[in-house]
Structure 1
């Protein structure tokens, strides 16, 4: 745990599954100015894990107990199943707290739009955990674009692919609309957000959203194509059944191309129990560095360090000094609007305007 000043902001983490235990808990603990004081989880194994990882944190079994102690808190972080995001966010704001919601912000754009309006009306700060904006590959590509190394980008290819021959159980396998399950809501939320951040608003979307596992209720292997107002075309792949993953990024420009394999190392490090702030955090092996250039001439480009901690560092500044939020919730709304449009495009088998 980082040293915390006496006036550090007190944070409650609601949910202690993968998102809470691997991402939010360690990142909050490592951020100067934030103090993780409460964790909400009811599963026995997760209670033990929370006590072991955060021995100075109070663990409670339900949110009603948490709301009774809301006067001690400044911020609630919601890392629960997608179907509960909007309800818990409203309840946290009613309790007087600012709110972080893990992506996606809500299960549909109408729900997200209403939640943003509610936050504005009651004067609470609402943001969304789009941590992949601080992936090493995204940071490196953005820097290359800003430096003009690629010239005018005209095609952007981005992939999150894994090889999982047998599906994992859980709420993400539910086909109920209120569950917001499937890989498009999961990995697609990151891929779409990154594309919009790099190339601006999209005008048209096409999608192929396919179940691959036996009797699957959700999409397991999906493709989304965006046409941006800037003229760039984004091709986004997400899959749980890619026995041989393609390049993480392939970006074509008028001057050169950038190709990058391998994922940002921060998630793997967090899963191993490592914490941000240590030497070499976010530094990847040289063998995974991307290539910049052409077929005839190319060079290795060292990846910038990944920096997930920036999300919570910027949030602490936003809450203390009324600075900009790390992620505008309206960005997350636009992602949901594209996810919904992608579903319609799949059903119609053709591109549709946004």
Structure 2
């Protein structure tokens, strides 16, 4: 059995989920904790009773600890440096989203992965939920026919405080990648182009644009529409967004919290009817995996063990990242942006 010797880069709040996951695995051992603040690494070691070394430099940590896997739970601005350092030192990488801060950095990480033969997978925890898996199955099974339009509404008044309040594009940069990645996962289509208008509504407590409307043309000919706000007080949607997907024969609905369903035109002669009769089809909740971060980490480790690409391998995930950065670029220049120009 392979033993994963893990160096954890970044010892902030989110790292706790990753550390606790690793501790619970029989085939994993945390051999190094790395943070720009050595005291943060030491505090985490003490909290979890870890006897591993603490470092401020990842290269040194890998060399001294013999790590073969790196958890990158640092801020987005350092993902490129962490990923490159880890892969060139012989480690595989499991990292938080986004995979990098820029498309150039993301492309370089993929190039390093190809050159070194070391994999890079990205945390997209919102794919791992029985309801979204059921919705995907509903669409893939042809229940509503060929998809023509998909929409997601995300409206939450999130009072985080801290760095998000000062970001230029807090909604799109920090949150929308979840919904954009979900759209790719649900429909099975990739983005072709995007037109985005982002803005900061009255009453916003964010310095940057906390709301946006995006229109994506997708590879299957459908259109994906995203509407969102992170300063929307009252009547919040789910964090998973509220979804409507229109197909040739019907519509699939998911509120992001309960089980999805479809309403499909009934069989039989309905010629001449102004509004055709439909019948409800409930999605089959068949997925038995774990939800959220644990589900994504389970998939990442299964891919490592089986010697295959993870579902959220960087070579796939770069298309979700391109949706984010393409949307921001479109809003900046005021016109449609082609995704392939970014990738």
TM-score normalised to the size of structure 1? 0.77
Q: Say if 2:87 is the partner of 1:102.
A: no
Gap regions ≥5 residues in structure 1? 176-180, 264-287
Give the SS at the match of 1:336.
Answer: helix
1:195 to 153, 178, 183: 183
Matched, 1:33 2:23: no
- 1:317 Cα offset (Å): 3.8
What is the CA–CA distance in structure 1 between the aligned matches of 2:57 and 2:70, rounded to whole Å? Answer: 11
The answer to whether residue 331 in structure 2 is matched with residue 346 in structure 1 is: yes
Distance 1:289 1:196 in 2: 19
- Write the distance in 2 (CA, Å) between the matches of 1:32 and 1:172: 40
CA distance in 2, matches of 1:319, 1:299: 37
What is the alpha-carbon distance in structure 2 between the residues aligned to residue 257 and residue 173 of structure 1? 39
**Structure 1 position 329, deviation (Å):** 1.0
- List per-residue Cα deviations over 1:306-345 (Å, max 9, x = no partner): 5443433333343344222232212222233332321232
Select the residue among 50, 66, 82 that pairs with 2:76: 82
Alignment of 1:129-278 (within 5 A): 129-164=123-158, 166-170=159-163, 173-175=166-168, 182-197=170-185, 198-212=187-201, 216-242=206-232, 243-246=234-237, 248-263=242-257
Secondary structure in structure 2 of the residue aligned to 1:170: helix
Point out the more displaced range, 74-83 or 30-39: 30-39
* TM-score, scaled to structure 2: 0.79
1:66 paired residue number: 61
Flag the 1:350–1:149 CA change in 2: closer, same or farther, 3 A: same
Q: Measured at CA, do residues 43 and 158 of structure 1 come closer, stay the same or move farther in structure 2, by a change above 3 Å?
A: farther
Number of aligned pairs? 316
- The CA deviation at 1:82 is 0.6
Structure of greater Rg: 2
Query: Unpaired segments of 5 or more residues in structure 2?
Result: 265-276
**Among 274, 290, 311, which residue is 1:326 paired with?**
311
Q: 1:87 to 1:208 in 2, by over 3 A?
A: same
Secondary structure of the equivalent of 2:252?
strand
Deviation at 1:44, TM superposition (A): 5.5
Which stretch of the first structure deviates more once superposed, 343-352 or 300-309? 300-309
Which residue pairs with 1:272 in the alignment?
none
C-alpha displacement of 1:291: 3.5
Separation (CA, whole Å) in 1 of partners of 2:26 and 2:218: 38
